[in-house]
Structure 1
Amino acid sequence: MAIIISQIKTTLDEPKDNAVAKALSLLRLSRAETASAKLYKSSVDARRDICFVNSVYIAMKDPAKERRLAEKHQNVRLYEPGALSFTRGKERLRGDVYVAGFGPAGMFCALTLCEFGYRPVVLERGADMDSRIRAVEGFWAGGALDPSTNVQFGEGGAGTFSDGKLTTRIGDPLCSRVLERLVEFGAPEDILTQAKPHIGTDKLRRVVKNLRSRVLELGGEVRFLSPLESLDLHSGRVDSIRVNGADIPCGALALAVGHSAHDTFRMLHGKGVTLVPKPFSVGARIEHLQADIDRALYGKYAGHPALPPGEYQLSYHDNGRGVYTFCMCPGGYVVASASEPGTVVTNGMSYFDRAGKNANSAVLVSVAPEDFGGGPLGGAEFIHRLEEKAYQLGRGGKAPAALTREFVSGGNSFTLGRVDPTYSLSVEPADLNELFPEYVSQPMKNGLRYFDRRIPGFSDSDSVLTAIETRSSSPVRLPRNEAGSAECADNLFPCGEGCGYAGGIMSAAVDGIKTAVRIMERFAPAQAE
């Protein structure tokens, strides 16, 4: 047990560690009374005189005093780190435990299983990291798209080619466990104390490879270029799975296939697995000069060496429909992210230093099953139609783009100003009203007008919209019961973002851990039989 003291302010010019001394002074504690005292989290407060707002972790030698301090002070709370506590099951496995997908959910599911004596077999449809990087960079250079290995599929999942953002709203104690493991595998220690941590695509790639090495060291197996092609359901369980044409007995299956595995969703639906259509969002990437964002957010403090590149999060409600920015990438790039030929998909990516000239973010509009219809797979089909249309508007590979002010005002001019689009396959001037249905384009315009009031210049003639962004979340959910298994099969465990239970690296990793626990609560490890 420990306590967290929040709302401890430090200036831009003083060490953040001063927050610890201030917290001790506030509570009238001496160092001698503490077993540990350290910075817990730190964030920028850019509302007036810019400063850092910190929280401090203190473990007392007298645990009873922690509780008294938490009861007495408004900004003090008790803290207990996330721990895995469960009773291991005794049921005999009738085959290996398989984990389909090696993104954040699959990685942490497999790692957790290995650490408790299980020997999972990971099935990743894409290639290993080094081969994946070559395939993606080749595509970005104008080469052919590899449908099995791309920005969406391959070791590390879709988040590998992103900002490596580790923010989440789930507030689960296991988040700390995930951050600590990421540091163990090579992530910067700063992620432990940043309120908005990120790894960057460059460092995340090394972390993923190191995590895979640990899985292998502990007896797990990772098979690349091994898609889950089919499964055999019988008497309420998965008896076998098909991988690369071979049918394999299956003891348990953690399904962590990611939000873009639409072909897997079709296969599951055809096999009688229950899928439920869910809301998701579509839109475009907006780019600004990072220096303009810094000035808008930090004012006279822009450029201060203690400040990180500015980042924003904006939202607007338009007659019940959400419009919001998503996955903002300071100093980042808009990257080609298609996973199927004849389509265009965008995403944002930053390196750890966030040193690129432009900032980008998705501007998304929520859509719901009543918008696109079509049953459980209606959302996936809606996404595919939009991506094909974007390909056509881009004249075969380029991304359709528009000046933000022209899109909002209904104009068609495309004379670039200070912002050069970073999409590697180039952009094609297009009327985005032809791409989006009106129930998407009109709320997006209204949202952009509102965002321009929040950040002056957000929707001016220099900013550029590059389309289309469709992969922010899964279009389906696979219902699971209290035991974590699917309704149709008690040894099938839907997991992570693809199955509708996470949104981003952190929440997917946490769900992967919890899915591993569900499997272990049910089954004994094979070697314990």
Structure 2
Amino acid sequence: MIHITELRLPVNHTPQDLETAILERLGISASELLDVEIFKRSYDARKKAALSFTYIVDVSVKDPIAVLKRHTEDARVTPTPDTGYHYVAQASHDTSSKRLRPVVVGFGPCGIFAALLLAQMGFKPLVLERGKAVRERTKDTWNLWRKNVLDPESNVQFGEGGAGTFSDGKLYSQIKDPKFYGRKVIREFVKAGAPEEIVYVAKPHIGTFRLVGVVEKMREEIIALGGEIRFGQKVVGLEIDHQQLRGLTLESGEHIAADHVVLALGHSARDTFKVLHEAGVYMEAKPFSVGFRIEHPQSMIDRARLGPHAGNKLIGAADYKLVHHANNGRSVYSFCMCPGGTVVAATSEPNRVVTNGMSQYSRNERNANAGIVVGITPADYPGDAMAGIEFQRTIESKAFELGGGTYEAPGQLVGDFLVGKASTAFGSVIPSYKPGVHLTDLASSLPDYAIQAMREALPAFERQIKGFSMHDAVLTGVETRTSSPLRITRGDDYQSLNIKGLYPAGEGAGYAGGILSAGVDGIKVAEAVALSYTAP
């Protein structure tokens, strides 16, 4: 096939317009064009009045060699790259019957793809997930949102699908991906029931309700290929012999012999991090970010970002990405922006408040929300590798207290936050967070340097998005789980630097940030495990 880039079309174009643009670019007639596949579709919202779509397409033509020869000097017309996934190994009878089966700890995006790839290569993995299956977990999560009842083992953070299940289901990332692993992730989601458009739209998303069914289908495939998935199985100990992993101990007391274990824990498995730290597994503190969720009317964001194209169904609800470098040296930026979504309770520990954002596939809720967060480094929380967790806990406990001690979240209108005044009543923006928002003064919920940087950043963001610092916009605290506060260090072979057979992976280990990058890392680690099994 032939790969064509930089095809620009007006927003209100038709499918025929796209075909015409392809024919003109290639200099061929309609009879010579056999098939068209959209590789990617994106839009640039920087010039609202002249907003247009940009396409990358793959096409089949009657005489591709001749067409390519005529365009040898055109970098926008090339042979289609191979984006298919190629397995690095396949289990033989010897590797599957004489070796201990690989174990995957955690069944979020990273664990799902590690287990799926191992199963597809014939290695029949055993998956241990501390939480519940996704539908049971959803009920427990709603208990917190509706009844203020937290289950520490079944919530937004723990359970089948991981934290990404209760999010926008975003499937885009800025990672370098020369082997197109990201397309493998997306194609597996489509195979499991996700909308086909996620293969080519620039910022694909699935949404929470659809993710539930997709995750279940992927679980079924792993089981059909010989894998085993066990819920309610928390790892509380490691057996290590001369820096070689020999097995795992579960909270039930059961011992599982294992010498290839993928650690796909997620960023909130604090008790498991403690187990690893006490066992001597190398890890280090790493930067992360803390802040609040901000909510505006989605219609306002649409108008500010899309101008006359606001409401265009092909574009959908508008998003944004903002960053400001404050005078005190801190970076303030938008995080996990959820168009037409809701702010959700995301704590996994009693008597703490944590927020996150979520959207359904339709993205048709009244408010837009995003994290507005401030970057911090280990210098802000000196200590060992676990110090960042205590830093997070202190902030989350303060938020619980400011919210009234009932899992309601502390909140404040942006106008009041900017002048340091406690809010007493909501304005035109009604917050979406459940169990509810308790109005207060958020200044004491974060370190002074973070509050100072955010007060500087919000008016700066107003210059990019008109209305961003509107008085009635709502800040809800706190956002602390932006990424893992530590990294479980690994080598080029993806194994722990000091414990052979232990493969730290995904967001919890400090190697991913979001569904797509976590899935990609799961694939890479699964490949490393498979190559270890099949090595001479």
Which of 138, 148, 151 is the aligned partner of 2:153? 148
- For normalisation by structure 2, the TM-score amounts to 0.93
Q: Tell me by how many angstroms 1:356 deviates.
A: 0.5
8 Å CA contact 1:20, 1:38 repeated in 2: no
Which of 105, 115, 125 is the aligned partner of 1:100? 105
Does structure 1 residue 257 correspond to structure 2 residue 232?
no
8 Å CA contact 1:19, 1:56 repeated in 2: no
Q: Tell me by how many angstroms 1:80 deviates.
A: 2.2
> Closer, same or farther in 2 for the Cα pair 1:296/1:511, shift >3 Å?
same
Does structure 1 residue 38 correspond to structure 2 residue 37?
yes
8 Å CA contact 1:101, 1:258 repeated in 2: yes
Which of 453, 457, 463 is the aligned partner of 1:453? 463
> Closer, same or farther in 2 for the Cα pair 1:69/1:237, shift >3 Å?
farther
8 Å CA contact 1:82, 1:175 repeated in 2: no
Partner of 1:482: 492
Q: Tell me by how many angstroms 1:385 deviates.
A: 0.8
Partner of 2:182: 175
Does structure 1 residue 24 correspond to structure 2 residue 26?
no
Q: Tell me by how many angstroms 1:77 deviates.
A: 5.2
Distance 2:62 2:290 in 1: 52
Which of 333, 358, 362 is the aligned partner of 1:324? 333
Distance 1:68 1:496 in 2: 44
Which of 290, 293, 299 is the aligned partner of 1:282? 290
Which of 122, 131, 134 is the aligned partner of 1:126? 131
Deviation track 1:462-493 (CA, whole Å, cap 9, x = no partner) reads 20000001111111111111111111122111
Secondary structure of 2:56's counterpart equals strand
Distance 1:235 1:65 in 2: 62
Which of 296, 299, 312 is the aligned partner of 1:304? 312
Does structure 1 residue 135 correspond to structure 2 residue 140?
yes
Distance 1:70 1:488 in 2: 53
Deviation track 1:114-172 (CA, whole Å, cap 9, x = no partner) reads 11111100000100011101101111112420000000000000000001011111141
Q: Tell me by how many angstroms 1:9 deviates.
A: 2.0
**One-letter amino acid matched to 2:369:** N
Partner of 2:277: 269
8 Å CA contact 2:295, 2:368 repeated in 1: yes
Deviation track 1:282-332 (CA, whole Å, cap 9, x = no partner) reads 111000011111111122222234330111111112254321111111110
Partner of 2:195: 188
Partner of 2:346: 337
Secondary structure of 1:342's counterpart equals coil
Which of 368, 372, 379 is the aligned partner of 1:363? 372
Partner of 2:10: 11
Q: Tell me by how many angstroms 1:49 deviates.
A: 1.8
Does structure 1 residue 113 correspond to structure 2 residue 115?
no
Which of 220, 223, 233 is the aligned partner of 2:227? 220
Partner of 2:238: 231
8 Å CA contact 1:326, 1:364 repeated in 2: yes
8 Å CA contact 1:69, 1:76 repeated in 2: no
Distance 2:514 2:427 in 1: 33
Partner of 2:54: 53
8 Å CA contact 1:17, 1:39 repeated in 2: no
Secondary structure of 2:495's counterpart equals coil
> Closer, same or farther in 2 for the Cα pair 1:240/1:66, shift >3 Å?
farther
Partner of 1:350: 359
Q: Tell me by how many angstroms 1:234 deviates.
A: 1.1
Distance 2:232 2:75 in 1: 53
Does structure 1 residue 422 correspond to structure 2 residue 432?
yes
Partner of 2:508: 498
> Closer, same or farther in 2 for the Cα pair 1:466/1:61, shift >3 Å?
same
Q: Which of 469-478 and 315-324 deviates more? A: 315-324
Distance 2:417 2:392 in 1: 21
Which of 344, 363, 384 is the aligned partner of 1:375? 384
Distance 1:139 1:281 in 2: 25
Does structure 1 residue 81 correspond to structure 2 residue 83?
yes
Deviation track 1:383-403 (CA, whole Å, cap 9, x = no partner) reads 111101100111112101111
Deviation track 1:504-526 (CA, whole Å, cap 9, x = no partner) reads 1001001101111000101049x
Q: Tell me by how many angstroms 1:23 deviates.
A: 2.5
**One-letter amino acid matched to 2:39:** Y
8 Å CA contact 1:3, 1:70 repeated in 2: no
Q: Tell me by how many angstroms 1:61 deviates.
A: 6.4
Structure 2, unmatched stretches of 5+, are: none
Secondary structure of 1:106's counterpart equals helix
Secondary structure of 1:308's counterpart equals coil
Secondary structure of 2:262's counterpart equals strand
**One-letter amino acid matched to 1:422:** S
Q: Tell me by how many angstroms 1:3 deviates.
A: 4.4
Deviation track 1:90-135 (CA, whole Å, cap 9, x = no partner) reads 9966522110000010000000001111110000010001110110
Distance 1:284 1:392 in 2: 16
Q: Tell me by how many angstroms 1:28 deviates.
A: 1.5
Does structure 1 residue 391 correspond to structure 2 residue 400?
yes
**One-letter amino acid matched to 1:274:** Y
Q: Which of 64-73 and 471-480 deviates more? A: 64-73
Q: Tell me by how many angstroms 1:5 deviates.
A: 2.3
- Give aligned-pair identity as a percent: 41
Distance 1:325 1:444 in 2: 11
Secondary structure of 1:241's counterpart equals strand
Q: Tell me by how many angstroms 1:59 deviates.
A: 4.9
Secondary structure of 1:497's counterpart equals coil
Partner of 1:517: 527
8 Å CA contact 2:2, 2:64 repeated in 1: no
Size of the aligned set, in residue pairs, is: 525
Structure 1, unmatched stretches of 5+, are: none
Distance 2:14 2:116 in 1: 36
> Closer, same or farther in 2 for the Cα pair 1:344/1:263, shift >3 Å?
same
Q: Tell me by how many angstroms 1:269 deviates.
A: 0.5
Distance 1:290 1:112 in 2: 39
Q: Tell me by how many angstroms 1:34 deviates.
A: 5.9
Secondary structure of 2:333's counterpart equals strand
Q: Tell me by how many angstroms 1:409 deviates.
A: 2.4
Does structure 1 residue 470 correspond to structure 2 residue 472?
no
